[in-house]
Chains A and B, each alone.
Chain A
Amino acid sequence: MEDVKPQLLKVTIDGIEVEVEPGTTILQAARKIGPAVAPPAMCYYQPLKGSGGKCRACLVRVAAGSAKDPRPMPKLVASCLTAVQDGMIVENETSPQVIDARNGIVEFLLLNHPLDCPVCDQAGECDLQNFAFDHGKATTRYEEDRRTFEKKDIGPYIQLHMTRCILCYRCVYTADQITEKRVHGVMNRGDASEISTYIEKAIDNDFSGNVIDVCPVGALTDKTYRFKNRVWFTKPVDAHRNCPTCSGNVTLWYRGDEVIRVTARKNEWSEITEFICNTCRFETKKTSDWTIEGPTKISRSSVISANKYRADTIKPSFGQRLAAADYKQIHDERDTSQLSIQQLPAERFAKVLPSAMEPEP
């Protein structure tokens, strides 16, 4: 019997058309096109059921609902939850309303998030850092006291740094869905909410380490790796071993000849492809434990790949282009000759800006 293929739906995102299967969300459709139009996602995590809709980072404008009903949706919608319809037109980075909303979301997420990137283990592979770089402002308008918490040990391998948490619920879903005996969740309400374990209990099961990998910020850190190194000084290598518990497919992070960290492999959207067990993650840290496959593929724009596998430097991303577009020369009417300061010649700007304004290939 011939397989009946479901009819494909046409959706246009930022002017690029793509055909997807029914039931696909806008975010998935955008990811299919590529990183240029994929909305940022802090809480959505494809392998975890029920995730998404909380951070509101992926809000997009639906300019036309479908070919049948071309009315625009009244509000911005969370692209990670909204299913596409045939003929839908979505505006992501082309909509000023969306950019404005995202600027707001970055500001909200950073209200209580400390900018301790210089000492945070997640620096360089932090979703919030990337999101803030693309959409944030250099300053904050928040001058009130920030929310702080004591650091907490949850289990022998994991430390919870609640101050950095942005309450994306990813670790809660992970603990709920891939491990037995869920012992942690969200307590309290509003901006007093916190991730916590059930009355001083620890997370102790074979797959608990995965909560570290799913955390988009540095709230859950690996105690065997904390403060060992900056991620851009390490060299990721794909490796596997014969593990009785999990698939054993991991990424080893080398500093020189030493394996300083083991993580699960992540895809382009920094989502884990296969969850790994704690033995692989925390206890097998010798090269002899592993069969090396080769260097991990890292996105060219990632800080990890900077000056490592290629000679070319990081391409200006959306954030830089936005900054360049916003650039205003300071209007200074003073006679510079009197100040004995030479103003930067206009040609210098002309050299910098057009190249920065070029769209990414």
Chain B
Amino acid sequence: MATKILTEHINVPGIETFDVYRKQGGYTAVEKAIKTMTPEAIVEEVKKAGVRGRGGAGFPMGMKWSFLAKPEGVPRYLVCNADESEPGTFKDHYLMKNLPHLLIEGMIISSFALGANKSFIYVRGELMYVIHILEKAIAEATAKGFLGKNILGSGYDLELIVQPGGGAYICGEETALLESLEGKRGNPRNKPPFPAVKGLYQSPTVVNNVESIATTAWIVNNGGDAYAAVGIGRSTGTKLISASGHINKPGVYEIELGVPVEDFIYADEWCGGIRPGHKFKALVAGGSSVPILPAHLALTLANGEKRLMSYESLSDGGFATGTMLGSGGFILFDETSCIVRNTWNFSRFYHHESCGQCSPCREGTGWMEKVLHRIEHGHGHQQDIDLLVDVAKKIEGNTICPLGDAAAWPVASAIRHFRDEFQWHIDHPTEATQPGAVYRGEMALV
């Protein structure tokens, strides 16, 4: 049985209530942290654990914490980024809905470690019922003395606030989230200064993903070294993967990092294989913003080794043959999927969600979407494929925030790996627009 760090007790009935959660060993980490550990010791454990940010970027959490500026007389803030809205990613939603107390426990420990007396959970506005669950859980924890003034008689105060977001994808970007939290339009800020120096209300702030914060309870209880022992190489611990697409068992799975991609797809414990009678065509491994991979590259590295579910293995070979683990939005496509239509769909999303602040993203995302729309609907020109590659290249790396890259990568990678299919759409405009029309030419299906 694989190690479960976050979802061990998820199937216990009533785990969303304080009493059941407490009976399963909940809040012991808070007691241990506040009563027996110093904030520095907690940061040290998290550093030892080597847990990397689970929101997508994969930046080591302990290192992020140690960057936090600590000026005198200025409050520090911890903000939990629960604005999960990447297409194909739904693990934070699942975690908050089922285990609200796990997140709150993590928030208390993390806030204590960072010296924050006011912390925020910024939840996507559409998830109103999750907000109610969290608020109920916070009220329970406050009544039991784990939140509020003088937690467990230690003299440490913490106010935890749940803030519904406006429902914009860009508000998941950490600086746009802070702008939104301050009540402004959710436009990303220019960096530097980074939030660790000037974040919320111009004060030092740490922004972490739900899943990252939720791991701290286990780390405090079991130690950083125990966490680092799980996983593979620099990808330590477990990761929640939201699996969807043409697989037999879609859902959220907690895996130890380092599981082979092939096992994850075909094992009964996880996805349970491709739906019967179909073949594996393409994979988006970490949410819609990461480059798409054709089946053969998704399962093996360029050198023939098995590809693993880890930060390093998935990004092996750069974008030529690799992708990213990202937020763990695992979407699998079988041979009935049209890559052009799918890319257009992703592009439509990024066009709609671009904040419009900087010119490459504002104009470029719309341009790519319109060209893809044309190709998909049988009005593509031969030069359009190279045009898309060039526009994606002009956006990538030239924008204020990573949304420009997120919009460019799916398009660039789809053309890199499935150029034939785009070509087929251009060569067969009437055929390609028929319902269910998919290019089945020379393609390595697995």
Q: Give chain A's interface residues, CB within 8 Å of chain B.
A: 52-57, 59, 75-76, 78, 81, 100-101, 103-105, 107-109, 111-112, 141-142, 144, 166-167, 169, 186, 188-193
Contact = CB atoms under 8 A, between A and B. Distances in A.
A166 B363 CA distance: 10
Give the 5 A-B residue pairs with the shortest CB-CB distance, closest first: A104-B394, A193-B356, A190-B354, A108-B363, A53-B190
Nearest to B379: A143
A307 to B, nearest CB: 34
A249 B371 CA distance: 50
Given A78-B190, A101-B394, A108-B364, A190 B400 contact: no
Contact of B360 (A53, A75, A104, A189): A104
Contact of B394 (A52, A107, A188): A107
Given A104-B395, A105-B394, A190-B356, 6 more contacts: A57-B359, A189-B168, A189-B356, A190-B355, A190-B362, A191-B356
A243 to B, nearest CB: 35
A291 B367 CA distance: 52
Contact of B399 (A56, A166, A188): A56
A191 B357 CA distance: 9
A190 B353 contact: yes
Given A144-B370, A186-B356, A191 B400 contact: no
B356 A76 contact: no
B197 interface: no
28 contacts: A53-B190, A53-B358, A54-B359, A54-B400, A56-B359, A56-B399, A100-B394, A101-B398, A104-B394, A104-B395, A104-B398, A105-B398, A108-B359, A108-B362, A108-B364, A108-B367, A108-B394, A109-B363, A111-B363, A144-B370, A144-B374, A166-B359, A169-B357, A189-B168, A189-B354, A190-B354, A191-B363, A193-B356
Contacts of B363: 108-109, 111-112, 191
B185 interface: yes
A186 B387 CA distance: 30
B351 A56 contact: no
B190 A81 contact: yes
Contacts of A57: 359
A79 to B, nearest CB: 12
Contacts of A76: 397-398
B366 interface: yes
B301 to A, nearest CB: 24
Contacts of B374: 144
B400 A53 contact: yes
Interface residues of B, number: 33
B358 A75 contact: no
Contacts of B353: 189-190
A100 B367 CA distance: 18
B352 A190 contact: yes
Contacts of A189: 168, 170, 352-356
B360 A56 contact: yes
Contacts of B356: 167, 186, 188-193
Interface of B: 168, 170, 185, 190, 351-360, 362-367, 370-371, 374, 383, 387, 391, 393-395, 397-400
Contacts of A169: 357
A100 B371 CA distance: 21
A267 B170 CA distance: 37
Contacts of A109: 359, 363
A104 B387 CA distance: 12
Mostly, the B contact residues are: helix
A142 B362 contact: no
B357 A54 contact: yes
B358 A190 contact: no
B284 to A, nearest CB: 22
A106 to B, nearest CB: 10
Nearest to B394: A104
Nearest to A75: B397
A212 to B, nearest CB: 22
B389 to A, nearest CB: 12
Contacts of A112: 363
B394 A190 contact: no
A141 B387 contact: yes
Nearest to B186: A189
A108 B399 CA distance: 12
A59 B397 CA distance: 11
Nearest to B185: A186
Contacts of B395: 104
B351, B383, B394 interface centre (most CB from chain A within 10 Å): B394
Nearest to B356: A193
Given A53-B190, A142-B367, A193-B356, A167 B362 contact: yes
A336 B400 CA distance: 54
A333 to B, nearest CB: 26
A191 B350 CA distance: 11
Nearest to B350: A190
Contacts of A190: 351-356, 362, 365-366
A188 B400 CA distance: 18
A167 B355 CA distance: 12
A105 B360 contact: yes
B363 to A, nearest CB: 4
Contacts of A193: 356, 362
B186 to A, nearest CB: 9
A100 B395 CA distance: 11
A112 B353 CA distance: 18
B358, B363, B374 interface centre (most CB from chain A within 10 Å): B363
Contacts of B367: 108, 111, 142, 144
A112 B359 CA distance: 11
B359, B360, B397 interface centre (most CB from chain A within 10 Å): B359
Contacts of B397: 75-76
Contacts of A54: 357-359, 400
A210 to B, nearest CB: 22
B355, B367, B387 interface centre (most CB from chain A within 10 Å): B367
A102 to B, nearest CB: 10
Contacts of B359: 54-57, 105, 108-109, 166-167
B372 to A, nearest CB: 11
A81 B400 CA distance: 11
Contacts of A78: 190, 400
A59 B360 CA distance: 12
B165 to A, nearest CB: 14
A107 B400 CA distance: 18
A75 B397 CA distance: 6
Nearest to A166: B359
Given A81-B190, A190-B352, A55 B362 contact: no
Contacts of A111: 363, 366-367
A189 B359 CA distance: 12
Contacts of B387: 141
A191 B351 contact: yes
A101 B397 CA distance: 10
A59 B395 CA distance: 12
Nearest to B361: A190
